[in-house]
Amino acid sequence: MVDHVVETEGPLYFDLLVERIARAHGFQRAKVGIRGVVKSAISHGQFPVTKDDSSELIWPRGADPTSLPPWRANDPFVRVGSTLH
C-alpha cells in the first residue's frame, strides 16, 4: 500500500503518507504504530527521501528530487482516499 500511495501521490510528506495508510485501514489514533511500519517500508532505499525543514519528503521510485516534479491538475479524484464524490 505504501508503494501505491507514494507512486500515486508522491512526492508527499512522510506524515501525510502515514495519515493516508491509517485512514485506508480505518485507524484514527493508532498512527504511532503505523509510523513504524511505514518507516520500515520506505527504509529499504526504494524511494528517494529528502528533508524539507524538519519534514521528510518521500519521492516516487526513479524520481529526481533535485528537479521540479511535473505539474498535476487539481483533480480531487486523483488522490488516494479522497472523500469527495
Q: Is the pTM of this model over 0.75?
A: no
* Total number of domains constituting the chain: 1
Q: Which residues contact 58 (CB under 8 A, 6 or more apart)?
A: 6, 10, 11, 12, 13, 14, 17, 42, 47, 48, 49
User: Could you tell me if residue 72 is inside a domain?
Assistant: no
pLDDT tens, position by position, 10-68: 899 999 999 888 888 877 766 678 888 888 888 877 899 899 888 999 999 888 888 77
70 belongs to a structural domain = no
Residue 81 lies in a domain: no
Domain ranges, residue 29 = 2-58
Beta strands in the chain (DSSP E): 12-13, 49-52, 55-58
67 inside domain: no
Is residue 85 in some structural domain? no
Mean pLDDT for the chain overall: 80
